[in-house]
Amino acid sequence: MAGSITAWERGPRRSTASTRLPWRARRARSASRSTPGSPSPRLGPTPVRRWFSLAVDGSRTLRIGALYPDLLNIYADRGNLMVLARRCRWRGLGCEITDVGLGEPLDPGRFDLLYLGGGQDADQRRCGEELAGEKGAALREASEAGKVILAVCGGYQLLGSSYVLGGESVPGARVLDLHTVREDGPRLIGNVAIEVDLPDAGGPRVLAGFENHGGRTVLGADQEPLGRVLRGHGNDGRSGFEGARTANTIGTYLHGPLLPGNSWFADWLISTALGGVALSLLDDALEEEAHRAAQVAAGLTPGR
């Protein structure tokens, strides 16, 4: 199903074509794992069921595959997809978002970016059972090919090997070297800010958002975290790490949704997914204010 989402659009954006962002995708490099407190540093064809499609004649088109959107859809994380689509449109780029649901095959070659949101435990079980098979193999193929994968909260947990709930172990896609355990004790809830250092992002940057998870995620010995916790709990409330990253595959617990308050990260995802295309700058006054507010909510002083 295709349609446009115009109710929340503020109108045309002014793009400064002469000013380019420095981000360029490059082949994944192995990165040494930092320590807490360290200085800043193929299967058959995919059914085409599009809920959103923007195309501009003669432009590049970002092709996004949204996995299990009817099941992994809590915490307003679908807003992340809206942000990606709008930031493409404002630059004259096309954006096509296709749902890939339960029981539907995933062809990783069809997409530039794959997205998994958060879900309830029962829905994660259903997705996990499928991701333990061919669909998980397709995700691993996409990750190894350098495709961008963004997974939030429950989707992040599903990229690991397992999620243990009491005496039950929910399998995962085994894309990232991690596992999650639901421990006794309070949920990890609150505003959070982390420092990340992504390739071609111009040095360390801050991601800010909101976390709400009962699971404690443990990274494998060689698994790189997404970032270092500045404020908040992170993966487990103990390690000082948040999220995980391998090449262009990123998992995180940050909600908000994540991308409206971190527009620089949305642009990094778009640029990387399109093979390092140079993106013109947008008038991001409101987005920058949202990013500042998210940092303040987490207890940071912006500009640190």
Active-site choice (179, 233, 255, 291) = 255
> Do residues 255 and 152 touch, judged by C-beta distance below 8 A?
yes
> Do residues 234 and 190 touch, judged by C-beta distance below 8 A?
no
Active-site choice (153, 179, 213, 291) = 153
Is 88 among the catalytic positions? no
> Do residues 294 and 191 touch, judged by C-beta distance below 8 A?
yes
- C-alpha distances in Å from residue 164, one per residue of 15, 47, 182: 47, 32, 6
Q: Dig out the tokens for 128 from the structure.
A: 């996990």
> Do residues 67 and 110 touch, judged by C-beta distance below 8 A?
no
Q: What are the phi and psi torsion angles at 88 (to 5°)? A: -70, -50
Is 153 among the catalytic positions? yes
Residues that are catalytic? 153, 255
